[in-house]
Structure 1
Amino acid sequence: MRHDAATIARMLAERAPSLVRELLPNGRKHGAEWRCGSLAGERGQSLAVHLGGARSGVWADFSSAERGDALDLVAAVLYGGDRRKALVWARQWLGLGNGDVGPVVRRSAPMGRTSEVDTDAQARRAAARKVWFAGEPLRMGSPAAAYLAGRGIDLLELGRVPGSLRFHTGLWNGESQRHWPAMLAGICAPDGAMVAMHRTWLAPTPSGGWSKAPLRDAKMTLGSYAGGCIRLWRGASGKPLAFAPEGETAVLAEGIETALSIAISCPEHRVLCAVSLANMARVVLPAAIRTVIVAADNDEGNASARRALDVACQWFLSQGRDVRLAMPDRKDADWNDILQEMDA
């Protein structure tokens, strides 16, 4: 009997714990995942492979944005992405073909580049954490809270300030070569570790409020965050993302203000911020989250933005989740615009 690629991928997924030890022997088990540094198999955390459940065999490399099913993993590790060669190997490994499985020749890490990239990534992560701890909890009455209030976001309506937000009284800005107050947001990797930070520099307004500082780039990230997100609101369960209850719904938005607007309007849902549209298709969610609502901006006429949204929706659909796209009716509007109009 000749098994097709989908069947082979499913059979590999059923044996995911054995498969990862064959392909990536230097990795280690981390909860329900097998973790290593990359498809080259070195020690680390960037590559995660699900070991069981509905997503068994599904993997993602947060450093390269590569992802796929169990057959894709074989192809990526052994054959530079060639699924045809991977099928031959997989049939032999599963005992479906004639002869023995040939020797495994794993992908090599780029010569001289991996250590440089790792060193740079670690330095940026350390810098992000240093700034984070130099800040203070975001309190009502602070310029950061006033900035959000100016965007129609009253944190008192949530009942508490999200722990992923902080305030810095004077953060250095390279563009202007001076310090500004800033709102900080921690970006966490799928394992919960803070790997990067989002910064919004602030300035007072003539009316006595606060807005974004008059900079070309008043919002910037520090550190690599592919696959991660800002965990803004835990929803009705109140549980950390890793312990989300089975069947939970999560709302994924692009920006912080949009995400907070949704948390105020729909506090029963878990709300996450992807930081960028490109990262929406990389965010890694636990299997317990069965429904993903993609809260999109209405960028009508922007073909690249629409393609990015389609990729994100397809990514979550491929994981067997229920995916819904929520977009304002008005062109060039986001959900924060809608919240402000409702409050006007």
Structure 2
Amino acid sequence: MPRDASELARRLARDAEAVCRHYLSNGRRQGRYWMVGDVRNTPGRSMFVRLSGPEAGPGAAGHWTDAASAQHGDLLDVIRESCDLAHFRDVTDEARRFLSLPRPEPALPSDAAVRRELVPQGSAEAARRLFAASRPISRTLVETYLCNRGIISVEDAGALRFHPQCWYRPSDEDRPGTPEALPAMIAAVTDLTGRQTGAHRTWLDGATRNKADIATPRRAMGELLGHAVRFGAADKVLAVGEGIETMLSLRCAQPAMPAAAALSANHLAGLLLPATLHRLYIARDADAAGDMAFAALTERAGAVGIEALPLSPRTSDFNEDLRRFGLAGLRAALRVQFAPQDAHLLR
């Protein structure tokens, strides 16, 4: 007989699909997940429940995440919210009723002791939870997507993860019937200390292995200004630019060079710089916004004694250079733009 909440949750998780069919009846099974709108049984696909997995720990059966709100929990939370139960004793009573178990005599703790903290949508904490709910990119659609863009290997790939069903809010520009959840590359946005402050999502199409055919396949969330997606630890030298694929393309040619993607021209202009930095290479996108960001960041770097040097692509950006001219061509074009003392950073 289950005597505490953790044992009740484990018993429910052993029959997770039956729990979902009963309490989340507006959803449906999709592969190893039960998809529904939210924990209150709203129709939709932003919440997914794991139907199989270990009894505890990462990936455990019965654990769920709502990609829209970043809420997460177990099947006891599903019972509480879907049945609108205010007290934890009522939750466990309902769980035992479902499991056909006798009710224990000892009083159980209040639901305040186990209530999952809700966080604002789009906040830094929501970004951290989304990243934590994702998995490493090895042998996933993210790895395939990057390979299709000429990025064969990723040094220091810990900033990137894969989410199999990341919630997407369709806009007025999207076609009718646009899915509300799609596979996505999730990138951690961090500050200079390595603390995650945000996340960037690139939704992907499993059939084409490219960006999803939706109105806004890239979106960021959390606290972004001054921060970046980082590859490698910066000390005296750092390369910065706008896009993730742009900086990963540079890393293919210069894997020893730490790099940071600021995600937009405005954020590149406002990027915070490490106090230890001596030289800053700025990968310029070939457009007016890229020129503005380069000028603003160069001025800020010079004001604190950091030498700023441009890295200019032959096409619109360095990922297009990589795909058009190959790794050898990209490396040759970069070699003449590097300061002599940094030539060793190129393979």
Fold match, TM over 0.5? yes
Mapped to 2, the partners of 1:153 and 1:263 lie a distance apart of 9
Task: Give the alignment of 1:161-240 within 5 angstroms.
Answer: 162-175=157-170, 176-205=178-207, 209-232=208-231, 234=232, 240=233
Mapped to 1, the partners of 2:186 and 2:272 lie a distance apart of 22
1:296 CA displacement: 0.9
Mapped to 2, the partners of 1:343 and 1:327 lie a distance apart of 16
Q: 1:285 aligns with which of 264, 273, 276?
A: 273
**Equivalence for 1:126:** 125
**Equivalence for 1:276:** 264
1:228 CA displacement: 0.6
> Residue 322 and residue 222 in structure 1: after superposition, are their counterparts in 2 closer, same or farther (change >3 A)?
same
> Residue 185 and residue 123 in structure 1: after superposition, are their counterparts in 2 closer, same or farther (change >3 A)?
closer
Mapped to 2, the partners of 1:169 and 1:192 lie a distance apart of 25
Contact kept, 8 Å, 1:293 with 1:326, in 2: the verdict is: yes
Contact kept, 8 Å, 1:121 with 1:224, in 2: the verdict is: no
**Equivalence for 2:247:** 259
State the secondary structure of the residue aligned to 1:289: coil
Q: What letter corresponds to residue 336 of structure 1 in structure 2? A: N
Mapped to 2, the partners of 1:174 and 1:253 lie a distance apart of 27
**Equivalence for 1:136:** 135
State the secondary structure of the residue aligned to 2:125: helix
Mapped to 1, the partners of 2:314 and 2:325 lie a distance apart of 14
1:343 CA displacement: 2.7
Q: 2:309 aligns with which of 316, 321, 324?
A: 324
1:122 CA displacement: 8.9
Mapped to 1, the partners of 2:205 and 2:121 lie a distance apart of 31
1:185 CA displacement: 0.3
Mapped to 2, the partners of 1:317 and 1:120 lie a distance apart of 39
Mapped to 1, the partners of 2:314 and 2:191 lie a distance apart of 33
**Equivalence for 2:294:** 309
Mapped to 1, the partners of 2:220 and 2:226 lie a distance apart of 14
**Equivalence for 2:147:** 149
Mapped to 2, the partners of 1:178 and 1:121 lie a distance apart of 19
**Equivalence for 2:317:** 334
1:152 CA displacement: 0.5
Deviations 1:248-306 (A, max 9, x none): 2110011000000000101121111111111112211222110000001112xx3x442
1:225 CA displacement: 1.1
Mapped to 2, the partners of 1:179 and 1:228 lie a distance apart of 27
Task: Give the alignment of 1:45-194 within 5 angstroms.
Answer: 124-139=123-138, 141-155=139-153, 158=154, 160=155, 162-175=157-170, 176-194=178-196
1:161 CA displacement: 5.1
Contact kept, 8 Å, 2:285 with 2:291, in 1: the verdict is: no
Q: CA RMSD in A?
A: 2.1
**Equivalence for 2:80:** none
Mapped to 2, the partners of 1:220 and 1:308 lie a distance apart of 20
Deviations 1:105-133 (A, max 9, x none): xxxxxxxxxxxxxx997961121111111
Identity between Structure 1 and Structure 2 (%) = 27
Contact kept, 8 Å, 2:119 with 2:126, in 1: the verdict is: no
> Residue 285 and residue 305 in structure 1: after superposition, are their counterparts in 2 closer, same or farther (change >3 A)?
closer
Structure 2 segments unaligned to the other structure (5+ residues): 1-117, 171-177, 328-347
Mapped to 1, the partners of 2:306 and 2:120 lie a distance apart of 32
Structure 1 segments unaligned to the other structure (5+ residues): 1-118, 235-239
Mapped to 2, the partners of 1:319 and 1:297 lie a distance apart of 24
Q: TM-score, normalised by structure 1?
A: 0.56
1:163 CA displacement: 0.5
State the secondary structure of the residue aligned to 2:325: helix
Structure (1 or 2) with the larger CA radius of gyration: 2
Mapped to 2, the partners of 1:339 and 1:329 lie a distance apart of 10
Mapped to 2, the partners of 1:193 and 1:161 lie a distance apart of 16
Mapped to 1, the partners of 2:303 and 2:120 lie a distance apart of 30
State the secondary structure of the residue aligned to 1:199: strand
Mapped to 2, the partners of 1:341 and 1:123 lie a distance apart of 36
1:329 CA displacement: 3.2
Q: TM-score, normalised by structure 2?
A: 0.55
Mapped to 1, the partners of 2:275 and 2:200 lie a distance apart of 26
Mapped to 2, the partners of 1:230 and 1:130 lie a distance apart of 16
Mapped to 2, the partners of 1:287 and 1:161 lie a distance apart of 22
The number of residue pairs the alignment matches comes to 203
Contact kept, 8 Å, 2:314 with 2:321, in 1: the verdict is: no
**Equivalence for 1:85:** none
